[in-house]
Amino acid sequence: MKALHRILAFIGALSLIAVLLITAAEGAIYLNFNYYQKEYEKYEVLEDLDMEMEDVMYVTREMMGYLHGKRDDLVVTTTVDGQEQEFFNEQDKFHMAEVKDIFGIAILIRWISLGVFAVVMSALIFMKAAWMKLVSKWYMSLTGALALATGILAYLMTRNFNKYFVIFHEIFFDNDLWQFNPETDLMIRMLPEGLFADFAARIGIFAGAAAAVFFIVSFILYKVAKRKEEDVNLYNIS
């Protein structure tokens, strides 16, 4: 029975980490649109686009609304070089539809993970398992392993971000339509590679902060559970 408790606690901790990571990524991407404006200023995208910041931010909000399921298409008309035109071309729309699918899958995984966590915790409590100790211990162990892996990946990405940016796209996309031409594609001018590198770091910071908070909570719960366990053992001896 104790083996089952440990397995369920492992699944619960893993599910909680999945919820935290996906939520952190969503927050980093959607939480503050002023961050996009700072990035556009940093990489001087207005000069490359021949657009006003107000128009670029309009396109950004519509694009993110599409990815978040708040609009059905990417038919977005704006002013470029003084002329009214559609911002996204057909390749842009195709690629962003694939990105939207990935976002949707991530959100679905989060909801499934949240459900799994709730079921696991209910089962552990029903079976009168030492859930506080077990789940906290697994969470701290898994978070430590994840932090090590993330640290290694972050180091590699700082050495050659483009290499891992390409690998990422080759894993998640089965075509080469994610490769754009700055001469003809406005979207890649608005979203230079440096912006993606900054967002990767931003997601890492959000995820790290969330994981750290829950690590501290887990550590406290683990210590409380251990203290209760020791008190029970001492009472039984006496």
132-178 pLDDT, tens digit per residue, is 999 999 999 999 999 999 999 899 998 999 999 999 999 999 999 99
Contact 68, 107 (CB under 8 A): no
Interior angle at CA 233, CA 227 and CA 235, nearest 5: 100
Positive or negative CA dihedral for 153, 154, 160, 164? positive
φ and ψ of 84, to 5 deg: -75, 130
Predicted model pTM: 0.87
Domain coordinates of the chain in residue numbers?
A: 2-237
Identify each DSSP E strand in the chain by its residue range.
Answer: 77-80, 83-86
Percent of the chain clearing pLDDT 90 (strictly above):
83
In angstroms, how far is the first alpha carbon of the chain from the final one? 27
Per-residue pLDDT band for 31 (boundaries 50, 70, 90) equals: confident
112: tokens are 């499934």
**For residue 233, what is the DSSP state?**
H
How many angstroms separate the CA atoms of 167 and 151, rounded? 18
Q: Give the C-alpha separation, 84 to 67, whole Å.
A: 23
Neighbouring CB atoms inside 10 A of 103's CB total: 19
> Which structure tokens are listed for 161?
């971000």
Residue 118 has pLDDT above 90, yes or no: yes
Q: Chain centroid to CA 60: how far?
A: 19
Q: Above 70 in pLDDT, residue 238?
A: no
pLDDT of 234 higher than 60: no
14-43 exposure pattern, b = at least 16 Cβ within 10 A, e = fewer:
bbbbbbbbbbbbbbbbeeeeeebeebbeeb
- CA distances (Å), origin 199, targets 24, 28, 94, 180, 234: 12, 7, 22, 19, 52
pLDDT greater than 90 at residue 227: no
Return d(Cα 204, Cα 176) in angstroms, integer.
27
pLDDT of residue 113: 97
What letter would DSSP give residue 75?
A: -
Handedness of CA 94, 98, 101, 107 (dihedral sign): negative
